[in-house]
Amino acid sequence: MSKTPSFDKDRDYIGFATLPEQVHRKSVKRGFEFTMMVVGESGLGKSTLINSLFLGDLYKNRQLPNVEERIEKTTRVEKKTMDIEERGVRLRLTVVDTPGFGDAINCEDSWRVCTQYIDEQFRQYFTDESGLNRRNIQDNRVHCCLYFVPPWGHSLRQMDLDLIRRLHRKVNIVLVIGKADCLNKGEVRKLKERILQDLEDNHIQLYQFPECDSDEDDDFKQQDRELKASIPFAVVGSNTILEVAGKKVRGRQYPWGVVNVEDAEHSDFIKLRTFLISTHMQDLKDTTQDVHYENFRAQCISQISQHALRERGKLKRDSISSTNGFDAAISETDRLLLQKDEEIRRMQDMLTQMQEKLKQTHLMEMKKNDSVIDV
C-alpha cells in the first residue's frame, strides 16, 4: 500500500499564518529604539531610578554643581545613549536629562528648554520624512516623559503645573513621586489623590492607558487595573545589592531596616518597570506617532498651506498691478498713435484741398486763354 505524500496533509495550508514570525524576525534584526525624557529638580533620585530600571550606569562621569554654580544655573539638555540586549533583542535607549531644572532661584522659564527640544525633534523628523531619502530616518522623538514630583510637597507646585500644562499635548507624561520612602502608605495615598485632583482641576491629561481587549486573559486584565490604580507611581530607586534573610535584593539600608525597591509593599518600582518596559513601551511609541506627532504634522502642513496662500495672494496682487501698469502704457501708446493718425488725416485733407484749388486755377486759366484766341 502506497504512502500518502506529506504535502497532502497540508494541501489546505496557504502559509500566511507565518506573517507574525516574519515581522518578528525582521523587527529583531533591525532592533528597537526608545527615547525617554527625565524632568525634575535635583535630589529626587532620577539618575538612580534610571540605572535601576535598565540595570546600567548612564551617569558614570556626572559632576554635581556647587552652590555658586546653582545660583545662576539654567536648564540644559543632555542626551545619553545605551545599547541593551536581552535574549537576542537589541534596544537602543536614549535618556534625555534636563539638569538644572528647578534648581535656579527664578524657575519661570524652566519649561521652555523642554518644549523646545521636543518640538525640534518633531521638526527634524518631519523634515526627514518629507525629504527624498526616507529609508534610514533616525527617530529621536521623545516617546515618554518621566516627570518627578518631590515627596515633601502637599501636591503639585505651580512650576510643575506650568511644565505639565505645556507638555501634555506634545508627549506622553508619566508622573513619578521620587524618594517615596520618605512617606508612609497613608501619606502616599493622600499625595496621589491631591495630585490627580490638581490635574483634573487644571484640565491636564497624562498618558492614557489603552483599554484591554475582551480576549485578554484575566491575569493581564488584573495587572492592567493595578497599573492604572498606581498612577502616579511612588518609587524608590537603588543600585545597591543587599542580603536580607539569605536573599540578595536591590534596596536601601536604613537604621530601622531595609527598603526593598522590588517589593510592591515598599515601592511602585516594579509596576513602573512593568508598565514602561514590559507592557506599554510599544504603545508609548504608537501614541507618539499617531497622536502627538500627527498633531505637530497637521500644524506644520497648515502653516505651510497658509504661507503658500499668502504668497499666492501676493503674486496675484503683483501680477494685477503689473498688468494695470502695462494697460496704462498701452493706452498712452494708443493715444499717441491716434494723434499721429489725426495729424496725417488733416494733412491729407489739406493736400486734397490744395490739389483741388490748383485744378480749379488751371481750368480758369485755360478758359481765359480760349477767350483770347477767339477775339
Return the HEC string of the chain: CCCCCHHHHCCCCCCHHHHHHHHHHHHHHHCEEEEEEEECCCCCCHHHHHHHHHCCCCCCCCCCCCHHHHHCCCCCCEEEEEEEEECCEEEEEEEEECCCCCCCCCCCCHHHHHHHHHHHHHHHHHHHHCCCCCCCCCCCCCCEEEEEECCCCCCCCHHHHHHHHHHCCCCCEEEEECCHHHCCHHHHHHHHHHHHHHHHHCCCCCCCCCCCCCCCCHHHHHHHHHHHHCCCEECCCCCCEEEECCEEEEEEEECCEEEECCCCCCCCHHHHHHHHHHHCHHHHHHHHHHHHHHHHHHHHHHHHHHHHHHHHHHHHHHHHHHHHHHHHHHHHHHHHHHHHHHHHHHHHHHHHHHHHHHHHHHHHHHHHHHHHHHC
What is the predicted pLDDT for the residue at 372?
A: 45
Could you give the C-alpha distances from 114 to 37, 59, 86, 233, 281, in angstroms and in order? 9, 20, 31, 22, 21
Record: fold of 27-235+267-290: Rossmann fold (3.40.50)
What is the predicted pLDDT for the residue at 373?
A: 43
- Each domain of the chain, given as residue ranges in start order, spans 27-235+267-290
Nearest to 203 by CA among 172, 231, 165: 165
- List per-block mean pLDDT (blocks of 10 residues) for the chain, which spans 375 residues: 51 75 78 87 81 70 55 69 83 84 68 88 89 80 91 85 89 90 86 91 89 81 86 84 78 79 82 87 91 89 80 72 56 71 76 73 61 46
What is the predicted pLDDT for the residue at 103?
A: 66
pTM value > 0.85: no
What is the predicted pLDDT for the residue at 324?
A: 56
